[in-house]
Amino acid sequence: MPATTSSDTNPGTGPEHNSERPDRTVLDARDISRALTRISHELLERNKGATDLVLLGLHTRGVPLAKRIAEKIATVEGAPVAVGELDVTMYRDDLRSQPTRRAHKTALPPGGIDEKVVVLVDDVLFSGRTIRAALDALADLGRPAAVRLAVLVDRGHRELPIRADHVGKNLPSALAERVSVRLAEVDGSDEVTIS
């Protein structure tokens, strides 16, 4: 399965682009693990523990990232953290221009999201349109006490006033560059590359 550039539209893709310059690895497996450990501790510190915390991974690669963060938090706290999956396909504002998208499932943890601190987890934050769609999806699912955003990579170029609360790596990039995230659960290995 090919690696992702993020849930947002990411220019600079395609075989003709990839042949121009080789990919440069910006995060390897150990870097990704350290970034997720740091995000986990930041979440616990800001939330003053794991009480009422719900992690919702955005499909596709946000889901395994949310599960990894939940495992790290459980190790520190000694108790499990609620994890769910959020599909934003039908909430995207580009369905007319890109109508053929595979829908995934939305799975909320037992207890739902009402009055919980919901942390949206995604791989790459780019234009912000995927997160806007996620906020719309959340509004249909319940009323969280607060919503926060954790991303592995923030590459800039926002089109909407959205920012991440927890970032594994800020990666300034040109619009024409492609940021690819590969995760073992989906792609067989862990790395973030830019080309």
CATH of the domain at 155: 3.40.50.2020
Q: 3-state class of 6 per DSSP? A: coil
Which residues have C-beta within 8 Å of that of residue 104, sequence separation ≥ 6?
Answer: 59, 60, 85, 87, 89
For residue 134, tell me if it sits in a domain.
yes
Q: pLDDT at residue 171 above 80?
A: yes
Assess if residue 111 is contained within a domain.
Answer: yes
Q: How many domains does the chain have?
A: 1
Asked if residue 15 is part of any domain, the answer here is: no
3 falls within a domain? no
Give the pLDDT confidence of 86-143 residue by residue, as tens digits: 999 989 887 666 656 677 899 999 999 999 999 999 999 999 999 999 999 999 999 9
User: 22 vs 32, which has greater pLDDT?
Assistant: 32
- The residue segments making up the domain with residue 83 are 24-88+103-194
What's the pLDDT score for residue 92? 86
Strand 179-182 with 191-194, pairing: antiparallel
Helix (H, G, I), strand (E, B) or coil at 175: coil
Q: Which residues lie below 8 Å from residue 58, measured CB to CB, with a gap of 6+? A: 7, 86, 88, 120, 121, 122, 130, 134
Lookup: tokens for 67:
């599960």
74 found inside a domain:
yes
Residue 35 has pLDDT above 50, yes or no: yes
Neighbours of 32 (CB within 10 A): 23
Identify whether the C-beta of residue 123 lies closer than 8 Å to the C-beta of residue 151: yes
Residue 95 is assigned to a structural domain of this protein: no
Of 99, 27, 97, give the one whose Cα is nearest residue 61. 27
Stated pTM of the model? 0.87
* 14 in a structural domain: no
pLDDT at 68: 98
Strand-pairing partners, residue 176, are none
How confident is the model over 75-85, as pLDDT tens digits? 999 999 999 99
Backbone angles phi, psi at 124, to 5 degrees: -130, 130
pLDDT in tens, 46-99: 999 999 999 999 999 999 999 999 999 999 999 999 999 999 998 988 766 665
pLDDT for the residue 1? 43
Residue 188 lies in a domain: yes
pLDDT attached to residue 100: 62
Contact at 8 Å (CB) between 43 and 53? yes
Residue-wise pLDDT for 12-23, tens only, equals 433 334 445 679
What per-residue confidence (pLDDT) applies to 55?
A: 98
Q: Where are the alpha helices (DSSP H) in the chain?
A: 15-18, 29-47, 62-77, 129-141, 184-187
pLDDT reported for residue 13: 36
CA separation, residue 155 to residues 10, 185, 189 (Å): 10, 23, 21
The set of residues, in sequence order, having a beta carbon less than 8 Å from that of 54 and lying 6+ positions away, is 81, 82, 83, 84, 109, 113, 116, 117, 118, 119, 144
